[in-house]
Protein backbone atom coordinates (compact mmCIF):
# COMPACT_ATOMS: atom_id res chain seq x y z
CA UNK A 1 0.00 0.00 0.00
CA UNK A 2 1.33 3.41 -0.99
CA UNK A 3 -0.09 6.70 0.24
CA UNK A 4 1.46 9.87 -1.12
CA UNK A 5 0.50 13.35 0.03
CA UNK A 6 0.74 16.20 -2.46
CA UNK A 7 0.66 19.92 -1.57
CA UNK A 8 -2.31 21.57 -3.30
CA UNK A 9 -1.66 24.54 -5.52
CA UNK A 10 -1.47 27.87 -3.66
CA UNK A 11 -4.78 29.13 -5.11
CA UNK A 12 -6.53 25.99 -3.80
CA UNK A 13 -4.77 25.65 -0.46
CA UNK A 14 -7.30 27.84 1.46
CA UNK A 15 -10.00 25.34 0.45
CA UNK A 16 -8.20 21.98 0.51
CA UNK A 17 -7.04 20.32 3.72
CA UNK A 18 -5.22 17.44 2.03
CA UNK A 19 -4.59 15.93 -1.40
CA UNK A 20 -3.28 12.40 -1.70
CA UNK A 21 -2.86 9.40 -3.97
CA UNK A 22 -3.53 5.90 -2.64
CA UNK A 23 -2.41 2.80 -4.56
CA UNK A 24 -2.44 -0.87 -3.62
CA UNK A 25 -1.44 -3.89 -5.74
CA UNK A 26 -3.80 -6.18 -3.81
CA UNK A 27 -6.82 -3.94 -3.19
CA UNK A 28 -8.35 -3.95 0.30
CA UNK A 29 -7.94 -7.43 1.83
CA UNK A 30 -11.15 -8.42 3.66
CA UNK A 31 -9.16 -9.61 6.68
CA UNK A 32 -7.85 -6.05 7.23
CA UNK A 33 -10.86 -3.70 7.37
CA UNK A 34 -10.32 -0.19 6.05
CA UNK A 35 -12.52 2.48 7.55
CA UNK A 36 -12.93 6.09 6.45
CA UNK A 37 -13.96 7.82 9.68
CA UNK A 38 -15.75 11.19 9.77
CA UNK A 39 -13.34 14.13 9.82
CA UNK A 40 -15.58 17.01 8.76
CA UNK A 41 -14.18 17.09 5.21
CA UNK A 42 -16.25 16.64 2.04
CA UNK A 43 -14.21 14.81 -0.59
CA UNK A 44 -13.66 14.59 -4.32
CA UNK A 45 -12.45 11.10 -5.25
CA UNK A 46 -11.14 9.80 -8.56
CA UNK A 47 -11.07 5.99 -8.62
CA UNK A 48 -9.00 4.00 -11.11
CA UNK A 49 -7.71 0.47 -11.64
CA UNK A 50 -10.52 -1.40 -9.88
CA UNK A 51 -13.99 -0.99 -8.43
CA UNK A 52 -14.63 -0.02 -4.81
CA UNK A 53 -17.42 -1.05 -2.47
CA UNK A 54 -18.39 1.31 0.34
CA UNK A 55 -20.60 0.23 3.24
CA UNK A 56 -22.26 2.89 5.40
CA UNK A 57 -24.76 1.91 8.10
CA UNK A 58 -25.41 -1.36 6.25
CA UNK A 59 -25.99 0.42 2.93
CA UNK A 60 -23.75 -0.96 0.16
CA UNK A 61 -22.67 1.13 -2.82
CA UNK A 62 -20.34 -0.13 -5.56
CA UNK A 63 -18.31 2.41 -7.53
CA UNK A 64 -16.62 1.79 -10.86
CA UNK A 65 -13.68 3.77 -12.22
CA UNK A 66 -14.60 7.42 -12.30
CA UNK A 67 -15.01 10.70 -10.41
CA UNK A 68 -17.14 10.96 -7.25
CA UNK A 69 -18.12 13.49 -4.63
CA UNK A 70 -18.58 12.40 -1.02
CA UNK A 71 -20.52 14.83 1.14
CA UNK A 72 -19.73 15.41 4.78
CA UNK A 73 -20.46 12.28 6.85
CA UNK A 74 -21.20 11.67 10.49
CA UNK A 75 -20.74 7.87 10.28
CA UNK A 76 -17.85 5.67 9.19
CA UNK A 77 -17.48 4.06 5.76
CA UNK A 78 -16.03 0.56 5.40
CA UNK A 79 -14.07 0.09 2.17
CA UNK A 80 -13.76 -3.18 0.25
CA UNK A 81 -12.51 -4.15 -3.21
CA UNK A 82 -11.82 -7.23 -5.26
CA UNK A 83 -8.25 -8.52 -5.30
CA UNK A 84 -6.07 -6.59 -7.72
CA UNK A 85 -4.51 -3.20 -8.27
CA UNK A 86 -6.52 -0.22 -7.14
CA UNK A 87 -5.81 3.47 -6.94
CA UNK A 88 -7.62 6.64 -6.10
CA UNK A 89 -6.90 10.31 -5.77
CA UNK A 90 -8.47 12.01 -2.78
CA UNK A 91 -9.08 15.71 -2.36
CA UNK A 92 -10.31 16.47 1.15
CA UNK A 93 -11.77 19.96 1.37
CA UNK A 94 -11.93 21.92 4.57
CA UNK A 95 -15.44 21.60 6.04
CA UNK A 96 -16.46 24.85 4.32
CA UNK A 97 -14.11 24.45 1.31
CA UNK A 98 -16.21 22.62 -1.29
CA UNK A 99 -19.08 25.09 -1.57
CA UNK A 100 -16.95 27.96 -3.01
CA UNK A 101 -15.90 25.65 -5.88
CA UNK A 102 -19.17 23.92 -6.69
CA UNK A 103 -21.86 26.33 -5.50
CA UNK A 104 -24.09 23.44 -4.36
CA UNK A 105 -25.58 23.65 -0.86
CA UNK A 106 -23.62 21.07 1.10
CA UNK A 107 -26.76 20.01 2.99
CA UNK A 108 -27.86 18.31 -0.25
CA UNK A 109 -24.71 16.16 -0.26
CA UNK A 110 -24.39 15.27 3.45
CA UNK A 111 -24.02 11.53 4.10
CA UNK A 112 -24.26 10.78 0.38
CA UNK A 113 -21.94 9.69 -2.45
CA UNK A 114 -22.56 11.03 -5.96
CA UNK A 115 -21.28 10.31 -9.44
CA UNK A 116 -19.66 13.55 -10.57
CA UNK A 117 -21.69 13.67 -13.78
CA UNK A 118 -24.93 13.40 -11.77
CA UNK A 119 -24.03 16.13 -9.27
CA UNK A 120 -21.94 18.47 -11.43
CA UNK A 121 -23.48 17.87 -14.86
CA UNK A 122 -21.21 18.98 -17.74
CA UNK A 123 -18.18 19.80 -15.56
CA UNK A 124 -18.35 16.35 -13.96
CA UNK A 125 -18.68 14.47 -17.26
CA UNK A 126 -15.91 16.40 -18.96
CA UNK A 127 -13.48 16.19 -16.04
CA UNK A 128 -14.09 12.46 -15.56
CA UNK A 129 -13.50 11.75 -19.26
CA UNK A 130 -10.26 13.73 -19.27
CA UNK A 131 -8.99 11.95 -16.16
CA UNK A 132 -9.79 8.50 -17.56
CA UNK A 133 -7.76 9.30 -20.68
CA UNK A 134 -4.62 10.24 -18.75
CA UNK A 135 -2.02 7.59 -17.95
CA UNK A 136 -0.22 8.56 -14.75
CA UNK A 137 -1.46 9.61 -11.32
CA UNK A 138 0.70 12.73 -11.57
CA UNK A 139 -1.08 13.79 -14.75
CA UNK A 140 -4.48 13.08 -13.20
CA UNK A 141 -3.68 15.16 -10.10
CA UNK A 142 -2.55 18.08 -12.23
CA UNK A 143 -5.67 17.97 -14.42
CA UNK A 144 -7.99 17.66 -11.43
CA UNK A 145 -6.48 20.77 -9.87
CA UNK A 146 -6.78 22.62 -13.19
CA UNK A 147 -10.47 21.72 -13.33
CA UNK A 148 -11.07 22.96 -9.78
CA UNK A 149 -9.29 26.22 -10.51
CA UNK A 150 -11.51 26.74 -13.54
CA UNK A 151 -14.56 26.45 -11.26
CA UNK A 152 -13.06 28.65 -8.58
CA UNK A 153 -12.38 31.47 -11.03
CA UNK A 154 -16.06 31.41 -12.00
CA UNK A 155 -17.74 30.98 -8.62
CA UNK A 156 -15.47 31.86 -5.68
CA UNK A 157 -17.88 32.36 -2.78
CA UNK A 158 -15.98 32.32 0.49
CA UNK A 159 -17.63 33.37 3.73
CA UNK A 160 -15.36 34.80 6.42
CA UNK A 161 -17.93 34.20 9.18
CA UNK A 162 -18.16 30.48 8.39
CA UNK A 163 -14.35 30.32 8.11
CA UNK A 164 -14.02 31.87 11.56
CA UNK A 165 -16.57 29.53 13.15
CA UNK A 166 -15.10 26.35 11.66
CA UNK A 167 -11.58 27.32 12.76
CA UNK A 168 -12.84 28.19 16.25
CA UNK A 169 -14.59 24.83 16.59
CA UNK A 170 -11.59 22.90 15.33
CA UNK A 171 -9.03 24.70 17.47
CA UNK A 172 -11.19 23.88 20.51
CA UNK A 173 -11.51 20.20 19.46
CA UNK A 174 -15.27 20.73 19.33
CA UNK A 175 -15.49 21.99 22.92
CA UNK A 176 -17.31 25.17 22.00
CA UNK A 177 -21.04 25.51 22.62
CA UNK A 178 -23.51 27.28 20.35
CA UNK A 179 -23.92 29.95 23.04
CA UNK A 180 -20.16 30.59 23.00
CA UNK A 181 -20.16 30.70 19.20
CA UNK A 182 -23.02 33.21 19.26
CA UNK A 183 -21.13 35.43 21.71
CA UNK A 184 -17.93 35.27 19.66
CA UNK A 185 -19.67 36.22 16.42
CA UNK A 186 -22.65 38.32 17.51
CA UNK A 187 -24.97 36.30 15.27
CA UNK A 188 -28.00 34.23 16.18
CA UNK A 189 -28.02 30.46 16.41
CA UNK A 190 -30.54 30.27 13.55
CA UNK A 191 -28.40 32.38 11.22
CA UNK A 192 -25.24 30.39 11.96
CA UNK A 193 -27.05 27.10 11.39
CA UNK A 194 -28.38 28.31 8.02
CA UNK A 195 -24.88 29.30 6.92
CA UNK A 196 -23.44 25.97 8.05
CA UNK A 197 -26.11 24.00 6.18
CA UNK A 198 -25.08 25.78 2.98
CA UNK A 199 -21.30 25.78 3.38
CA UNK A 200 -20.65 22.68 5.53
CA UNK A 201 -23.75 20.50 5.26
CA UNK A 202 -24.07 20.05 9.02
CA UNK A 203 -25.08 22.40 11.86
CA UNK A 204 -22.22 23.63 14.08
CA UNK A 205 -23.15 21.25 16.91
CA UNK A 206 -22.72 18.17 14.71
CA UNK A 207 -19.42 19.41 13.26
CA UNK A 208 -18.24 20.01 16.84
CA UNK A 209 -19.03 16.37 17.72
CA UNK A 210 -16.89 15.21 14.77
CA UNK A 211 -13.98 17.36 15.95
CA UNK A 212 -14.34 15.89 19.47
CA UNK A 213 -14.26 12.39 17.99
CA UNK A 214 -11.19 13.29 15.92
CA UNK A 215 -9.29 14.18 19.09
CA UNK A 216 -9.58 10.55 20.22
CA UNK A 217 -9.00 9.26 16.70
CA UNK A 218 -5.71 11.15 16.36
CA UNK A 219 -4.47 9.71 19.62
CA UNK A 220 -5.43 6.21 18.42
CA UNK A 221 -3.55 6.86 15.16
CA UNK A 222 -0.48 7.85 17.18
CA UNK A 223 -0.60 4.45 18.90
CA UNK A 224 -1.60 5.59 22.39
CA UNK A 225 -3.23 2.88 24.57
CA UNK A 226 -6.98 3.04 25.08
CA UNK A 227 -6.79 3.56 28.87
CA UNK A 228 -4.43 6.52 28.43
CA UNK A 229 -6.59 8.09 25.74
CA UNK A 230 -9.87 7.74 27.63
CA UNK A 231 -8.30 9.39 30.67
CA UNK A 232 -7.19 12.37 28.59
CA UNK A 233 -10.48 13.01 26.79
CA UNK A 234 -13.04 11.95 29.40
CA UNK A 235 -13.86 15.59 30.27
CA UNK A 236 -14.86 16.27 26.63
CA UNK A 237 -18.07 14.22 27.11
CA UNK A 238 -20.91 14.09 29.64
CA UNK A 239 -19.82 10.61 30.67
CA UNK A 240 -18.25 7.45 29.24
CA UNK A 241 -21.58 6.26 27.81
CA UNK A 242 -21.91 9.51 25.85
CA UNK A 243 -18.40 9.05 24.43
CA UNK A 244 -19.00 5.38 23.55
CA UNK A 245 -22.30 6.14 21.82
CA UNK A 246 -20.80 8.91 19.68
CA UNK A 247 -17.77 6.80 18.82
CA UNK A 248 -19.88 3.83 17.78
CA UNK A 249 -22.10 6.06 15.64
CA UNK A 250 -19.04 7.31 13.77
CA UNK A 251 -17.17 4.02 13.36
CA UNK A 252 -19.57 1.13 13.98
CA UNK A 253 -17.33 -0.09 16.83
CA UNK A 254 -17.04 0.54 20.53
CA UNK A 255 -13.88 2.61 21.23
CA UNK A 256 -12.17 -0.20 23.16
CA UNK A 257 -12.89 -2.81 20.48
CA UNK A 258 -11.75 -0.43 17.74
CA UNK A 259 -8.50 0.35 19.55
CA UNK A 260 -7.69 -3.31 20.22
CA UNK A 261 -9.01 -5.09 17.11
CA UNK A 262 -9.12 -2.77 14.08
CA UNK A 263 -5.73 -2.08 12.43
CA UNK A 264 -7.15 0.27 9.73
CA UNK A 265 -3.73 1.22 8.40
CA UNK A 266 -5.20 3.52 5.75
CA UNK A 267 -7.25 5.44 8.32
CA UNK A 268 -4.22 5.72 10.60
CA UNK A 269 -1.98 7.12 7.87
CA UNK A 270 -4.59 9.57 6.62
CA UNK A 271 -5.08 10.87 10.16
CA UNK A 272 -1.34 11.37 10.69
CA UNK A 273 -0.87 13.37 7.47
- CATH code, 80: 2.60.120.10
**196 neighbors 162 (Cβ within 8 angstroms):** yes
Per-residue pLDDT at 33: 62
Whether residue 14 has pLDDT greater than 70: yes
In a domain, 18, yes or no: yes
Ranges 82-96, 161-175, 215-229: which has the least confidence: 215-229
Q: Report if residue 31 sits inside a domain.
A: yes
Round to whole Å and give the CA distance between 94 and 33. Answer: 26
Tell me: the pLDDT tens digits for 218-270?
A: 888 888 887 777 777 667 777 778 888 888 889 888 888 888 888 788 888 88
Supply the pLDDT for residue 32: 66
For residue 42, tell me if it sits in a domain. yes
**How many CB atoms sit inside 10 A of residue 110's CB?**
17
**Do 22 and 88 touch, CB atoms closer than 8 A?**
yes
- What residue spans of the chain are helical by DSSP H? 99-102, 116-120, 122-132, 137-155, 160-171, 178-185, 189-199, 204-221, 226-233, 240-251, 255-261, 265-271
Residue 198 φ then ψ, to 5°: -75, -45
Computed over every residue of the chain, the mean pLDDT equals 91
What single-letter DSSP state applies at residue 40? Answer: S
User: Is 9 part of any domain?
Assistant: yes
The answer to whether residue 126 sits within a structural domain is yes
Q: In percent, how much of the chain has pLDDT > 70?
A: 96
Which residues on adjacent β-strands are paired with residue 2?
A: 23
Q: Is 69 exposed, middle or buried (0-12, 13-18, 19+ CB in 10 A)?
A: buried
The reply to whether 186 falls in a domain is no
Alpha-carbon distances of 139 from 50, 75, 80, 152, 195, rounded to whole Å:
19, 32, 26, 20, 36
Q: Is 93 helix (H, G, I), strand (E, B) or coil?
A: strand
**Domain region containing 90:** 2-155
Residue 115: which pLDDT band, with cuts at 50, 70 and 90?
very high
Q: The whole model's pTM is what?
A: 0.93
The tens digit of pLDDT for each residue in 136-158 reads 999 999 999 999 999 998 776 78
- Mean pLDDT lowest for which of 27-41, 75-89, 122-136, 202-216? 27-41
**Spatial separation of the C-alpha atoms in residues 152 and 154, rounded to whole Å:** 5
Asked, for residue 216, whether it belongs to a domain, the answer is no
**How many structural domains compose the chain?**
1
Q: Which residues contact 181 (CB under 8 A, 6 or more apart)?
A: 165, 168, 169, 192, 204
Position 264 in a domain: no
Give me the DSSP letters along 53-75.
EEEETTEEEEE-SEEEEE---SS
Amino acid sequence: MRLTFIPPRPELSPLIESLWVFESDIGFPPEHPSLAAPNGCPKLIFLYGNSLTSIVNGRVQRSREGLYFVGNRDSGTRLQSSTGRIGFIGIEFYPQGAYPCFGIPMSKTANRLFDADTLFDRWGRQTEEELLNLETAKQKVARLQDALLDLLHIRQDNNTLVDFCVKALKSADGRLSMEQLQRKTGYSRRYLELLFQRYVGFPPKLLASIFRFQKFYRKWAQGQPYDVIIGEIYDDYYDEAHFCNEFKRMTGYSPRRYTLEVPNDLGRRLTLK
